[in-house]
Amino acid sequence: QSALTQPASVSGSPGQSTTISCTGTSSDVGGYKYVSWLQQHPGKAPKLIIYEVNNRPSGVSSRFSGSKSGDTASLTISGLQAEDEADYYCSSYTSSGTLVFGGGTKLTVL
Amino acid sequence: QVELAESGGGVVQPGGSLRLSCAASGFTFSSYAMFWVRQAPGKGLEWVALISHDGNNKYYADSVRGRFTTSRDNSKNTLYLQMNGLRGEDTAVYFCTRDRLHGSGTPDYWGQGTLVAVSS
């Protein structure tokens, strides 16, 4: 049950794009389409923004997109806005039938 | 709309017990698997437990197995987490969250969380 690997922090200027990676193994990220991304603002509950690698729930901006290659999933945020500043977590279904999260990435909008 | 509301958190001494509840509304509770996820102060998310839609299958993180037990009452639309033998490292905000699709491991809706503080 090792956590998925994410960079601790990323940053970008308003209007730019940024990408957050999430690396696991063939027993989680690489083995299933069930990779999700969550956004968490300080003091708030996490919010699902991407599910099944590249699907957005209703109401989530199209500026958020996901992809996966092998054991690594990625979240790309285009047209960065101040409101995007938050912590981002990836999660994946695992071969044990459970759930594993990444360590989280703090996005700073400069 | 889907709503999840945790309750039951508080301050407890090491070795003590606490039972958390999660009241669900706005969806057919009995059709969905549910997760417990926790977040220690200033730290990331940690999956704690999973219970199937009918309560027959339960899975636990290694860090809580043997001490925590999850259950559900589908007639009351309520999820529970019984926590025994609490340790300092169990201090966290505990969230309940719904699995979007059976067996997908996709936490789509989250409660606001309830804080558990283990301290003497």
pLDDT band at A1 (very low <50, low <70, confident <90, very high): low
For residue B100, give the nearest of A3, A51, A98 by CB distance: A51
pLDDT tens across A2-26, in order?
A: 899 999 999 999 999 999 999 999 9
A94 to chain B: which residues are within 8 Å by CB? 105
The whole-angstrom distance between A73's CA and the closest CA on chain B is 15
CB contact under 8 A, B50 and A99: yes
pLDDT band at B102 (very low <50, low <70, confident <90, very high): confident
Percent of chain B with pLDDT over 90: 96
Q: Is A82 left (phi over 0), alpha (psi -120 to 50) or beta?
A: alpha
CB contact under 8 A, A93 and B37: no
CB contact under 8 A, A91 and B105: yes
pLDDT tens across B15-30, in order?
A: 999 999 999 999 999 9
Q: What is the DSSP string of A33-53?
A: S-EEEEEE-TTS--EEEEBTT
d(CA B96, CA B109): 9
The whole-angstrom distance between A76's CA and the closest CA on chain B is 19
pLDDT at residue A76, as a whole number = 98
pLDDT at residue B66, as a whole number = 97
For residue B105, give the nearest of A34, A45, A104 by CB distance: A34
Which H or E run includes A19? strand A18-23
A89 to chain B: which residues are within 8 Å by CB? 44-45
What average pLDDT does this structure show over A46-52?
98
